Amino acid sequence: MTLSNRLIGSHTQRIEDLRLLRGRGCYIDDLKLPGCLYAVVLRSSFAHARIVTIDTSEALARPGVRAVVTAADLKGQIPRIPLRMHAHESLTPFQQPVIAGDRVRFVGEPVAVVLADSQALAEDALDAIAVEMEELPVEASAEQAPIAIAYAGTRGAAEQVFAIADYVRSASFSVQRQAALPMETRGLAAVWDAEKEQLTVYGAAKVAFANRDILAKMLDLPKTSVELRELDVGGGFGSRGEFLPEDFLVPFAARLFGRPIKWTEDRREHLMAATHARDLHCAARIACRADGTVLALAATADVDVGAYMRTNGSVSARNFAQALAGPYRIAHVHSSATIRITNKTPTGTYRGPGRYEADFVRERLFDIAARDLGLDQSTFRTRNLLRPDELPYAFPDLAPIPQVTELDNGDYFETFERCKADIGWDEKQLLQGRLHEGRYHGLALGCFIEGGGVGPSEDARLVLHADGSIAVHVGSSAIGQGLETVMAQIAADAFDLPIERFRVFHGSTTDVANGQGSYGSRATVMGGSAVVMAAERLKELIRTEAASRAGCEPTDIVLIRDAAVPPDGTPLLFTEFAELSAEATFLNSRNTYSYGAQAAHVAVDPRTGRVDVLDYVSVEDVGRIINALTLHGQAIGAIVQGLGGVFLEHVSYDDAGQLQVGSLAEYLLPTTTDFPVIRSTALENYPAPNNPLGAKGAGEGGIIPVAGVISNAVAAALASFAVEPNVLPLSPQRVWELIQESRHAGAVRSPKGQRE
């Protein structure tokens, strides 16, 4: 089957913009729920404590308060949230309970839920809940903390190689705790119909089907009795949508009290309750030949996952273990990531989980080695970059849950050379390490791969309505990435009809039978491919229907736009058919790997440590471009998030496990003036071999190499100080301190590389 390829690949303007630009979106807090009660969660202010008593009597007496839910209402059976991905028996003890039972384990853990006539009245009553807690010792650092599980990626025999290699170098690296921080906080609205025994929950995102299954089980309801509906969603980035305590507590309260319940998270609680990310610290080693050929790479990492294993808490450790070598030919790899339990907010996925960290470690080691061996950064990489004829190339073996996967196809040199050309790499080399108008200039570059198109399946259902419009139902979730438009483009090209004829419905459990959702850069690949399949089936149904009316064979029918034309030439318009619907499930067990290169030019003010990113360039091959506008938007957005992670963002805790970022004045997000120059180009020269679109998942590539590229650029700029920017974030103070330490240690080099 071939697609007409008119909308696919184009700069199709988004359908969802028409309502979003007018302020006519419907996000969860916009939903009016007549007769509802408002829920506000009381959260622990201790990092680790035993709950001695909870007295809700005073709170219940406060104006407008109707009920207060505590663990007692669960009658000794507090459900624990299962892992959605990579479940393993060793992780079961660390599952998060939906409400604190006898113990709180992080600041922000839910202790009670107040239900009142308004959110304000519920909040007023919080301080009336008397909770007596007995403080317990706090595990504030991952270093010696209890282990949940350890992932390891192994290829060859790295230890043996380190013993004999010409050049071996070690270094320690640290990627700070970050948070996805979508602009919309979480929210839920639950309605229980006691008569029909039907629960409807609004505010789902990302993985509505999995959450429906988890919730149904927790409430002891059949899946058919639970409906999760996705509305407009204000960003996700891997964080929003996973099953968290409130996803149980709000529906539970709705059923218990027979009233609709609305919950809107505020920003203060989002910072402590919504899932954090990254927080990986490692010791790493690289072994090379004198000519820069990388022989072995090893890393031993600790991941501070916080107090509990959330639904996807393993992913970053697992990806770090698996993807340390990136797109390079490294025969011997041993990467381990140990997940440790501390008394902090639990972590999970955030764009490029584990890969952002892995690329930082690897690319830093590459530049350290290049410098030590007297090679330039570009040559070092081309010496080790996989060639097209070496693909497919298997990833290291992964344990304890194996996954057999390989880099599929591509020309990593093409994107690398294009990236170099775009930033003007060769011409700008004379700036490296030079002081110009009070600032040191530096450039760096790096290559990356992005794993996407995660299986196993996705559903789509297309319905031809009597008015001739076609409804496209997908299991994929919209989180702001333009899903509606992309799916409509794919369907529109399949039918060769204008995009206005299509309406896309997404992410709700009512849409398709077995959706999976949007994560791991899978929506376009999986959902889009399911749409392609369902479109073909619907076309087949139309042909069959037309054939039976025209008295011919379905193969005799030709579909031309919105008409089915039989051999006698009398077209039957789609509007003449009764409602027809077709479903399809796209199955896939092979990840896709889009890939590319990024480069940066920075200028560092040595007196303040401030780093200005003068130019940032990215080139990525995504297999097939479906919507050029939205793809570009994903790249720029991801890169800026990556830059925020390198320079600004830090979820910090003190030694007592107290969260030190309580507002957006403390968790610093990038703004318009921070990174004004970002340039990104997409290629589509190597379509994915595993799906009818040829598309590769492409929403996360932009963020993955940023930390490595920037820290290398800073190191290049400050070459005369021999600094090693191995600890993120590179705040101005940290950069300044690196320079001071270097001065102190007398390690300042003259530009020719001689130690002074």
Q: Which two tokens stand for residue 352?
A: 């490029």
DSSP labels for 516-534? --S-TT-IIIIIHHHHHHH
Smallest gap, in angstroms, from Cβ of residue 162 to other proteins?
A: 37
Q: Is 587 or 677 the residue whose CB approaches other proteins more closely?
A: 677
Instruction: Tell me if 305 sits within 8 A of 346, measured CB to CB.
Output: yes
Tokens of 39: 């829920």
Reading the block at residue 671, the tokens are: 């703004």
Q: What are phi and psi of 464, to 5 degrees?
A: -90, 115
Nearer Cβ to other proteins (484/545): 484
Amino acid symbol at 78: I
- Nearest-approach distance from CB 439 to other proteins, in angstroms: 13
Sign of the C-alpha dihedral computed for residues 137, 181, 616 and 614 taken in this order:
negative
Identify residue 393 by its one-letter amino acid code: Y
- Residue 171 CB, shortest distance to other proteins, in Å, is 24
Rounded least distance, CB 305 to other proteins, Å: 23
Tell the smallest beta-carbon distance from residue 665 to other proteins (Å): 6
Cβ-based neighbour number of residue 428 at 10 Å: 17
* CA triple 247-253-254, angle to 5 deg: 95
The answer to whether the beta carbons of residues 613 and 675 sit under 8 Å apart is yes
Query: Count of alpha carbons within 13 Å of 708, Cβ hemisphere only?
Result: 29
| Closer to other proteins by Cβ: residue 207 or 678 | 678
How does strand 110-116 pair with strand 347-348?
unpaired
Residue among 86 and 344 whose Cβ is closer to other proteins: 344
Q: Which is nearer to other proteins, 100 or 611 (CB)?
A: 611
**27 or 257: whose CB is closer to other proteins?**
27
Q: Which residue lies nearer to other proteins by CB, 141 or 740?
A: 740
Residue among 358 and 735 whose Cβ is closer to other proteins? 735
Smallest gap from residue 678 Cβ to other proteins (A)? 5
Q: Indicate the residue among 108 and 234 with the shorter CB distance to other proteins.
A: 234
- H-helix or E-strand containing 303? strand 294-306
Residue 725: CB minimum distance to other proteins, A: 16
3-state SS assignment for residue 331 = coil
Tell me the DSSP string of 663-714.
STTTS----TTT---EEEEEE-SS--TTSTT-----SSTTTTTHHHHHHHHH
Contacts of 82 (CB under 8 A, 6+ apart): 95, 214, 311
How far apart, in whole angstroms, are the C-alpha atoms of residue 645 and residue 177?
9
In the complex, the smallest distance separating the C-beta of residue 290 from other proteins, rounded to whole angstroms, is: 40
Could you tell me the smallest distance in angstroms from the CB atom of residue 667 to other proteins?
A: 10
Closest by CA to 423, choosing from 671, 598, 196, is 598
Half-sphere exposure at residue 598, Cβ-oriented, CA atoms within 13 angstroms: 35
Structural tokens at position 395: 């990833």
- Please, is 42 exposed, middle or buried when counting C-beta atoms within 10 Å of its C-beta (0-12, 13-18, 19+)? buried
Least separation in angstroms between CB 700 and other proteins? 13
Q: Which is nearer to other proteins, 353 or 410 (CB)?
A: 353
- Compare residues 541 and 628 and give the one whose CB is closer to other proteins: 628
CB of 232 to other proteins, least distance (A): 7
Specify which residues 27 forms β-bridges with. Answer: 232
Whether residue 304 contacts residue 653, with contact meaning beta carbons closer than 8 Å, is answered with: no
Instruction: Supply φ then ψ for residue 476, to 5 degrees.
Output: -65, 155
The CA distance from 423 to 598, in Å, is 9
Number of neighbouring beta carbons within 10 Å of residue 11: 12
Shortest Cβ 154–other proteins spacing (Å): 37
Closer Cβ to other proteins, 31 or 250, answer by number: 31
